[in-house]
Structures are given as structure tokens and as C-alpha cells.
Amino acid sequence: MKHQTIASVLIEALPYIKRFHGATIVIKYGGAAMVDEALKHSFARDVVLMKLVGMQPVVVHGGGPQIGALLERLRIESRFVDGMRVTDAATMDVVQMVLGGLVNKEIVSLVNAEGGRAVGVTGKDGDLIRARKLKRGVDAEPAPEIIDLGHVGEVEAVHGQLLATLLRGGFIPVIAPIGVGPDGASYNINADLVASAIAAHLAADKLVLLTDTAGILDAAGATVPTATRADVEAMMESGAIRGGMLPKARCALDAMADGVRQVQIVDGREPHALLLEIFTDLGVGTQII
């Protein structure tokens, strides 16, 4: 029975391997999968297996909890506006140290230890991510107010020559979401937004967003395994999609509007979540088509 089970799993994976051979898959890596030791190794193995069966994985990572922890140790106060960290010059130094150094290189080391060939970059390398300053408006009396978030940015353009070179060379790019402005200043950018922009630039076959939820939930709290763009828009309109899932749903729709074929919002708390979602009929999240 055990041998039959193993054989059935491999047979189930075969059409997916054929379908996605040569496909570019952008993965936004964050949440519990970046913190739990077992999940970190599970993620690295998944990415290496994807590469070995002929896929082109590109990893974009976050690192908010790690940034917060170091800021606390350095006694630098964290302040947020609508969930976004206000990033002054001192905070930006920490962001670059954590995202471009500590977190990025740990992911590279984990992937390489599992037999991959990962290369870590930030959006500043090769002018990969050109950023512009992001300002957020908030309701205030007697009139709306524009809040200066400091070194918080949004993606203005992606210059993908570096990524193309890495992918042609058989490497797995691991990207920290730091962009560069026209004046050479560094900007902290939301990793979901960077992953969406990278996926659109590469015309990726699939964008995978790892989260700490079971995917998009319906009004009854059950996971929606498959949804169309129209379904997602309707759920956003009705309020079924709310809270932290709202920006991810918007990123998914933006990516698809820019040519990404599929977006999957995957429960990163599940060991080998990538393999289960990409190679099996079961899945561990929501596929938007």
C-alpha cells in the first residue's frame, strides 16, 4: 500500500510538472514560513525541487517581524500608518541591514544548502527596482492630511536585465524589496507589491503569495479553492474579503491585469505548501484564474 501511495503521488504530479516545465513562477515569501525553522527548510526544498524539474522560481521576500525585532533592540521606535512602517533615515538603515543582509542571505544559504543555486539581490542591484516616494492620505479634521512616510516607496519601474541574466545562468533570484529613487535614495517597498510588479515584468505564468491564512475565505469562513477575477472583485465589494487579505487580493488582481496568468494565495503555515499547491490536485489555498 505504501508503494502504491508513493506511485499515485508521483503520477498525480506528472501533468503539473509537464504543464509548468519552463514556466516562470514568482513567489512572495513571508509570514510564518520565514520564522519557523522547519517551515524555512521546507520552503527551501520546495524551491529547489521546482528548479530541478524545469521551473524558473523567483523569490521575493519580506521581513517585517525581523525589522521590528532589531529596531526594538536598538531602541528605535516603530510607528505605523495604515499598517505601513514610517521609515526615517535611521529606520531605513536597519531595513537595509535586515532585508538586504540578514534575511536575504539566510534564504540564499538555505536554498543553496538544499542543492540550489540561489543569488541574493536587492532592488538596488542593477537598478532592478526603480522606486518613487509613497505618501499616504488620511482623513483628518478639518481637512484630509497627507502623511509623509519617509523612505517608504512604491514600484515605478522594473528593469529586468539582471533577472534575465540570472535565470539564463540557471540561478534562483532571491529579491529583497528595496528600491532606488531617481536621486539614489533607498526606499522600503511592500513585498507583495514588489512580487506583483516582478511577476508582471517577467510575464510570469504564476504568482504565489504565501500567507498566514488558509487562502481567501467565503462568508461562511470556508476556503475558496478556485476563484475568477470577477469572483474576487465581488467578494471585495461585499466585504467577504477584508482586513489583511484585501491588499493581497488587490495585488493579485493587479498582477493579472498586467498579464500574469494565475495567482495563488497559499497557506505558508503548511509544510511544503508550494509543492502541495503546484504539484497536486489538493492545494492549500486559493487559485485565482
Could you give all domains of the chain from N- to C-terminal order, each with its CATH number? 20-288 (3.40.1160.10)
Cα torsion through 153, 87, 79, 27, rounded to 10: 50
Tens-place pLDDT, residues 241-277: 888 888 889 899 999 999 998 999 999 999 999 988 8
pLDDT, average across residues 23-45: 93
- 19/26: higher pLDDT: 26
| Residue 199 pLDDT grade (very low, low, confident, very high; cuts 50, 70, 90) | very high
The single-letter code of the amino acid at 286 is T
Does residue 1 surpass a pLDDT of 80? no
What mean pLDDT is reported for the chain? Answer: 89
Q: Is 75 left (phi over 0), alpha (psi -120 to 50) or beta?
A: left
Q: Count of CB atoms within 10 A of residue 258's CB?
A: 14
- For residue 48, give Cα distances in angstroms to 53, 117, 172, 243: 9, 8, 9, 33
Does residue 41 surpass a pLDDT of 90? yes
Q: What is the pLDDT of residue 139?
A: 45
- 204 touches 257 (CB < 8 A): no
- 136 touches 84 (CB < 8 A): yes
Nearest Cα neighbor of 156 from 185, 126, 182 is 182
Q: Where are the alpha helices (DSSP H) in the chain?
A: 2-20, 37-52, 64-73, 89-95, 104-113, 161-168, 191-201, 229-238, 245-257, 273-279
Q: Which three cell numbers stand for residue 26?
A: 514568482
Which of 77-81, 143-147, 174-178 is predicted least confidently? 143-147
Radius of gyration of the chain (CA): 19
Tens-place pLDDT, residues 112-144: 999 999 999 999 999 999 999 987 655 444 445
Does residue 3 surpass a pLDDT of 80? no
